């Protein structure tokens, strides 16, 4: 894949947290560039700091050392593991609330209507989150992120609690939008197969203090990928082997 314009750069990022036993070093010397339109998957041992890294990218945490540089005015959306909806606002109002800073009213309404229709949430547009099932709340969380037409979409295992049918439906929606709007995606996954099938680059992280063990390039159109492809299967085995070794 040819590289587009760089929209985000992490340069020698470090992060530690205080603990009862002193300092806990989480990230150590992480450098990473993100380019417009690409999909990057972060994989690594459980608890290695993937969410911490995503939170630094989102501006929710500051690094102890290092630089986070992004394109001016970069429009970033974040899909969390669990829904973080506004309980006092309806389904539609949860969308319009985040849209008003980014889109003109006519465009915002068109995007809202399209996404609500596409995901089966249209009949619930005037309902409050407390009246939705867990799966529908997560569906709304994903729709809300897409509703601002992001340039960078951060995803922290948003399909973790969903059944397979809904997971595949929402993955299809996200990647349809990605194909149309060419936003970059930075996603966390514990599923190496998902990483191989969806990402253009896979960043394999070590255990704490975490840095980058390996970068794997998947230079094959997404629609042509199959685990039966020997090259992809070899890359899947490599990631699995590394993760299993770290669990022993």
What is the block-wise mean pLDDT of the chain (248 residues), using blocks of 10 residues?
Answer: 83 90 88 97 92 96 96 94 94 96 94 94 96 92 96 93 86 92 95 91 93 92 84 84 69
Same domain, 100 and 133: yes
pTM listed for this prediction: 0.91
Residue that finishes a domain, picked among 149, 165, 193: 149
Domain boundary (113, 131, 149) is at 149
101 and 210 housed in the same domain? no
User: Angle at which helices 105-118 and 91-99 pack, to 10 degrees?
Assistant: 140
Specify whether 117 is located in the same domain as 205: no
> Whose structure tokens read 């429009």?
75
Domain count within the chain: 2
Domain membership flag for residue 222 = yes
Sheet with 152-156: list strands edge to edge. 76-79, 152-156, 184-188, 39-43, 201-205, 212-217
Same domain, 164 and 204: yes
In-domain check, residue 80: no
Same domain as 169, residue 62? yes
111 part of a folded domain: yes
- Report if residue 100 sits inside a domain: yes
Residues 173, 145 within the same domain: no
Q: CB–CB of 181/103 below 8 Å?
A: no
Structural domain that includes position 187? 6-75+152-247
- Residue 81 included in any domain: no
Based on the fold, state whether residues 192 and 181 are members of the same structural domain: yes
| Residues 113 and 21 occupy one common structural domain | no
Give, for 233, the enclosing helix (H) or strand (E). Answer: helix 230-247
* Whether residue 237 sits in one domain with residue 160: yes
Q: What is the pLDDT of residue 247?
A: 57
35: domain CATH number is 3.40.50.300
Is residue 192 domain-resident?
Answer: yes
Q: What is the pLDDT of residue 243?
A: 78
Domain boundary (120, 149, 178) is at 149
Residue 113 lies in a domain: yes
Query: Do 64 and 91 fall within a single domain?
Result: no
> How does 219-228 read in b/e, with b if 16+ C-beta sit within 10 Å?
eeeeeeeeee
Pair (212, 191) in one structural domain: yes
In a domain, 40, yes or no: yes
3-state helix, strand, coil split of the chain in percent (to 5) is 40, 25, 35
Is the same domain home to 59 and 124? no
């Amino acid at each position: 894949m040819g590289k587009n314009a760089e929209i985000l750069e992490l340069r020698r990022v470090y992060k530690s947290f205080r603990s009862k036993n002193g300092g806990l070093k989480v990230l150590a010397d992480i450098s990473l560039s993100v380019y417009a339109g690409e999909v990057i998957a972060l994989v690594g041992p459980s608890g290695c700091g993937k969410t911490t890294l995503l939170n630094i990218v989102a501006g929710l945490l500051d690094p102890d050392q290092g630089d986070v540089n992004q394109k001016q005015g970069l429009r970033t959306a974040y899909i969390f593991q669990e829904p973080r909806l506004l309980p006092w606002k309806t389904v539609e109002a949860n969308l319009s609330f985040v849209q008003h800073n980014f889109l003109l009213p006519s465009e915002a309404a068109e995007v809202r209507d399209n996404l609500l229709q596409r995901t089966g949430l249209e009949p619930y547009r005037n309902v409050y989150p407390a009246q939705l099932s867990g799966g529908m709340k997560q569906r709304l969380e994903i729709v809300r992120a897409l509703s601002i037409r992001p340039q960078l979409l951060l995803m922290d295992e948003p399909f973790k609690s969903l059944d397979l049918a809904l997971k595949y439906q929402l993955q299809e929606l996200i990647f349809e939008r990605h194909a149309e709007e060419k936003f970059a995606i930075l996603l966390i996954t514990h599923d190496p197969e998902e990483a191989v099938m969806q990402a253009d680059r896979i960043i394999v992280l070590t255990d704490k203090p975490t840095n980058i063990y390996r970068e794997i390039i998947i230079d094959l159109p997404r629609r042509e990928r199959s685990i039966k492809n020997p090259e992809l299967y070899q890359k899947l085995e490599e990631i699995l082997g590394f993760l299993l070794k770290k669990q022993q």
